[in-house]
């Protein structure tokens, strides 16, 4: 299916120097797709070179005079910058000119703007953010990741539905398994919201596995792990911190003396293949779920490869009609049917 | 200072085959200390060999006819087994015959029994469990780890006080820095309890660093990281899962073919030194905090070295009068002084 992406080219730590090359690469590899580069014409135009001629109609620039900065407060981004590249990208999805928007900008502003412009789907009270986490042999989708704290059980149920639909859209699996993140001790198990969410999930008609614990995220016990945004954010950031520490410590150990440096040289191909396998760039692209339209959030520090992966993820969600899937599931007369 | 430990020898996945050798090793290395081995006399006695003669008065057996199993419900452990080795160990602390109890048994039962037997310190509403997490150059104390979910701000403040006193007792640092675990996004920052806990901590007189995020746990940004038991449990278990996945994946990569196996052989000393550095056995021994007595929880699967480390930690907490420190801090007329 032909898909047009609206790309906020000004967002992220690196702006157009990353987003434009990634967009051109995407056009090269996905000959059905088109992109609308949103941002300041005078900055974007010179970066295109011969690309405009090569891709013709498939590559357009849509001028937006303002940029949401990475630390801009939501109120200012939402009300003060009505011509921001982030806002225009969302509006292009709203109008139907694009099927998905992608931005590496400020997460909170992107969520607020997307919610304001696109609105939520019927029955969804809070949009969520989902991310992909690698496991030994596959991956787990984890949500929510910081958009929602202090969740009610009904919110967790909605996250489960959205996460399952995202997994089915991107991974082509009809009934992905869903786990509810909880803690293990018998009698002190879970907080109140999670306990009651478990009851709702049992009756939801989803392929509900039951409770899972923190280590199940990386074991790949289930396809989708559901938790509130506070817990998901902490779990993901703690993991990032640990991965960083392990890699720094390994580097230190391999640099200790000439013998360990020699060992490092020998082990380099193995270590590199390990690095490629868990390259976080390949997992870039968090989905903003529950909106009447597709919005994908790239990591702010994404390089061109990482941003390209976010674009591919957005196109795949559009091809597989993610919002329509969620809407259809939410519209079922009873969740148990 | 001479310290006597009451050791629940029957708890844990391996029971006396681990706890008794660890206790004997502890007596060997800590000539000031004594131990009371609590458990079934007829099982423990034969394991002592010549040790009883060698250690004399420093090594005693205290017969307890029952054992709390690893998956035993709290009610049954608390009300149904009044002569369990876990219960007797706590009672030996209560009576003053021992200065600390150590168990590798069922966490929930240990917490319930310790709380019932020892009672909480004045001002402490909920005891907490703290663990030690390695960072690149030192370590971070993290609490709570599952004893408390749905925490009020006042509970988080109490955890902060207990964690700071634990750090000062075990690491001999007068004013350890304390961070409050939170999430990063500006306008959606934190849940209500955490926001209000931040205000309490600012006025607490503790060396409060402010909010920290999940990755700060492994960066060593602060000495003590405070969060509710649900979040702490998930963060720790997610980390365990990730560490396990990374080590399994590295093993896979090194086993791919004869070339990578050769590389593994070369890299073995480096990988082993890395493993030693982050050996989780060295971090074994979670502290049950806020009780009128010291109780240390060993990992259920601990081997003799890991259990030995938990014993050392308990002795160190006793030498440095941990409960007295917490009580003194709680008794200060105003938390800001």
pLDDT, one tens digit per residue, over A196-218 is: 999 999 999 999 999 999 999 99
Measure Cα distances from B264 to A247, B154, B188, B251 in Å.
17, 51, 46, 9
A and B: number of Cβ contacts within 8 A: 223
Helix (H) or strand (E) holding A100: strand A100-103
- pLDDT tens-digit readout, B38-91: 999 999 999 998 998 899 999 999 999 999 999 898 899 999 999 999 999 999
Could you tell me if the ipTM is greater than 0.85? Answer: yes
- Chain A, 109 to 128: residues with Cβ < 8 Å from chain B are 111-112
Question: Among residues B282, B288, B280, which one has the least CA distance to residue B309?
Answer: B282
CA distances from B49 to A290, B15, B45, B179, B288 (A): 67, 17, 8, 48, 32
Q: Is B60 helix (H, G, I), strand (E, B) or coil?
A: strand
Query: Which pair of tokens denotes residue B15?
Result: 């029971």
Interchain contact, A108 vs B188, CB within 8 Å? yes
Distance (Å, whole) CA A222 – CA A224: 6
Query: Is the Cβ of A234 closer than 8 Å to some Cβ of chain B?
Result: yes
Intra-chain end-to-end CA distance of chain B, in Å = 30
A168 interfaces chain B, CB cutoff of 8 Å: no
Q: Answer whether residue B97 shows pLDDT above 70.
A: yes
Nearest residue of chain B to residue A252 (CA atoms):
B274
Of A237, A245, A253, the CB nearest to B214: A237
CB contact under 8 A, B108 and A230: no
Which residues of chain A does B286 touch, with a Cβ-Cβ cutoff of 8 Å? none
User: What's the rounded mean pLDDT across residues B104-123?
Assistant: 95
Chain B residue with Cα closest to A142? B238
Inter-chain residue contact B242 with A237, CB threshold 8 Å:
no
Chain A residues with beta carbon closer than 8 angstroms to that of B194 = 230
Average pLDDT over residues A78-95: 96
Does residue B207 contact residue B178 with C-beta atoms inside 8 Å?
Answer: yes
**What's the helix, strand, coil split of chain A in %, to 5?**
50, 15, 35
**Nearest Cα to Cα of residue A257 among B277, B262, B271, B270:** B270
Cα separation, A286 vs A141, whole angstroms: 10
Q: Do A264 and B244 touch (CB under 8 A)?
A: no
Taking residue A153's Cβ as centre, other Cβ atoms within 10 Å add up to 17
Mean residue pLDDT across chain A? 92
Determine how β-strand A294-297 pairs with β-strand A286-289: antiparallel
Residue B22 has pLDDT above 60, yes or no: yes
Q: Which of B148, B195, B242 to mutate to test the interface with A (most CBs of A within 10 A)?
A: B242
Q: Is A221 part of the contact surface with chain B (CB cutoff 8 Å)?
A: no
Q: What is the pTM of this model?
A: 0.92
Across the interface, whether the CB atoms of B239 and A242 are under 8 A apart is answered yes
| Residue A335 binned pLDDT confidence (cut-offs 50, 70, 90) | low
Task: Give the nearest partner residue to B71 out of A148, A186, A218, using CB atoms.
Answer: A186
Residue B253 has its nearest CB partner, among A213, A216, A270, at A270
Range from A42-51, A271-280, B253-262 that averages highest in pLDDT: A42-51
Q: Closest residue of B to A148, CA-based?
A: B188
Q: Which residues pair with A100 in a beta bridge?
A: A5, A294
Residues 62-101 of A with CB under 8 A from B: 71, 73-75
Q: Does A246 touch chain B (CB under 8 A)?
A: yes
Task: Residue A108: list chain B partners with CB under 8 A.
Answer: 185-188
Tell me how far CA of residue A218 lies from CA of A132, A141, A161, B131, B279, in angstroms: 11, 10, 21, 21, 20
Identify which of B294, B308, B227, B235 has the alpha carbon closest to the alpha carbon of residue B30: B308
Q: Identify which of A148, A183, A246 has the shortest CB distance to residue B146.
A: A183
Cα angle A190-A194-A199, degrees, rounded to a multiple of 5: 115
List all residues of chain B from 13 to 52 with a beta carbon under 8 Å from chain A: none
Element (H, E) at B62: strand B59-63
Q: Which of these, B88, B163, B77, B73, lies nearest to B124 by C-alpha position?
A: B163
Q: Which CATH superfamily is B125-288 part of?
A: Isopropylmalate Dehydrogenase (3.40.718.10)
Q: For residue B324, what are the contacts with CB-CB under 8 A and spacing of at least 6?
A: none
* pLDDT band of A189, cuts 50, 70, 90: low
- The class that CATH gives domain A1-124+290-337 is alpha beta
CB-closest option in A194, A248, A277 to B136 = A248
Does the pLDDT at position B21 exceed 60?
yes
Tell me whether A328 touches chain B (CB under 8 Å): no
From the list A301, A236, A238, A280, the residue with the least C-alpha distance to B216 is A238
Instruction: Write out the two tokens for A288.
Output: 């903003």
Domain B1-120+290-321 carries which CATH code?
Answer: 3.40.718.10
Q: Does B273 touch chain A (CB under 8 A)?
A: yes
Distance of alpha carbon B325 from alpha carbon B287, whole angstroms: 14
Q: What is the pLDDT of residue B336?
A: 43
A136 shares contact with chain B (CB less than 8 Å): yes
Task: Note whether B213 contacts A183, CB cutoff 8 Å.
Answer: no
- Name the CATH superfamily for A130-280: Isopropylmalate Dehydrogenase (3.40.718.10)
Centre a 10 Å sphere on the Cβ of residue B54 and count the other Cβ atoms it contains.
Answer: 13
| pLDDT exceeds cutoff 90 at A1 | no
CA distance A7 to A88: 9
Mean pLDDT of B202-224: 95
**CA–CA gap between residue B148 and residue B155 (Å, rounded):** 9
What's CA A223's distance to the chain center, in Å?
15
Considering only CB atoms, B266 lies closest to which of A181, A240, A266, namely: A266
Among all residues of chain A, which has the CA nearest to that of B74? A187
pLDDT over 60 at B188, yes or no:
no
pLDDT for A333 equals 64
From the centroid of its chain, how far is CA A243?
20
**Helix intervals (H) in B172-303:** 192-202, 216-219, 229-254, 258-277
Between CA B166 and CA B100 the distance in angstroms is 14
Cβ of residue B138 closer than 8 Å to a chain A Cβ: no
Q: What is the pLDDT of residue B187?
A: 40
Contact A219 B229 (CB under 8 A): no
Sequence spans of domains, chain B? 1-120+290-321, 125-288
**Segment B218-251, tens digit of pLDDT:** 999 999 999 999 999 999 999 999 999 998 998 8
Domains B1-120+290-321 and B125-288 share a fold: yes
Residue with tokens 């020892």: B118
Is residue A186 within 8 angstroms of chain B, CB to CB? yes
Given a contact cutoff of 8 angstroms between Cβ atoms, the answer to whether A302 and A20 are in contact is no
């Amino acid at each position: 299916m032909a898909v047009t992406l609206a790309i906020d080219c000004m967002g992220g730590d690196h702006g157009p120097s990353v987003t434009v090359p990634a967009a051109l690469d995407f056009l090269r590899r996905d000959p059905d797709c088109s992109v609308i580069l949103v941002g300041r014409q005078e900055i974007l135009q010179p970066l295109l070179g011969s690309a405009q001629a090569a891709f013709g109609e498939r590559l357009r620039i849509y001028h937006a005079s303002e940029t949401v900065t990475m630390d801009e407060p939501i109120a200012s981004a939402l009300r003060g910058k009505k011509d921001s590249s982030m806002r225009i990208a969302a509006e292009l999805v709203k109008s139907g000119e694009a099927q998905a928007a992608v931005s590496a900008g400020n997460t909170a502003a992107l969520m607020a703007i997307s919610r304001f412009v696109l609105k939520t789907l019927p029955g969804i009270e809070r949009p969520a953010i989902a991310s992909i986490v690698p496991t030994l042999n596959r991956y787990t989708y984890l949500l929510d990741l910081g958009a929602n704290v202090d969740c009610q059980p009904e919110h967790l149920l909605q996250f489960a539905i959205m996460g399952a639909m995202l997994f089915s859209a991107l991974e082509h699996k009809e009934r992905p398994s869903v786990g509810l993140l909880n803690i293990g001790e018998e009698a002190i198990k879970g907080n109140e919201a999670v306990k009651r969410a478990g009851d709702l999930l049992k009756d939801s008609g989803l392929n509900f596995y039951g409770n899972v614990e923190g280590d199940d995220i990386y074991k790949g016990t289930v396809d989708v792990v559901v938790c509130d945004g506070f817990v998901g954010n902490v779990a993901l950031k703690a993991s990032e911190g640990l991965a960083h520490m392990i890699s720094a410590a390994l580097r230190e150990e391999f640099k200790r003396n000439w013998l360990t440096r020699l060992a490092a040289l020998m082990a380099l191909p193995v270590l590199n293949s390990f690095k490629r396998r868990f390259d976080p760039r390949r997992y870039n692209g968090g989905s903003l779920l529950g909106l009447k339209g597709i919005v994908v959030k790239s990591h702010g520090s994404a390089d061109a490869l990482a941003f390209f992966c976010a674009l591919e993820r957005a196109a795949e969600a559009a091809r597989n009609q993610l919002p329509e899937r969620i809407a259809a599931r939410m519209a079922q007369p009873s969740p148990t049917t």
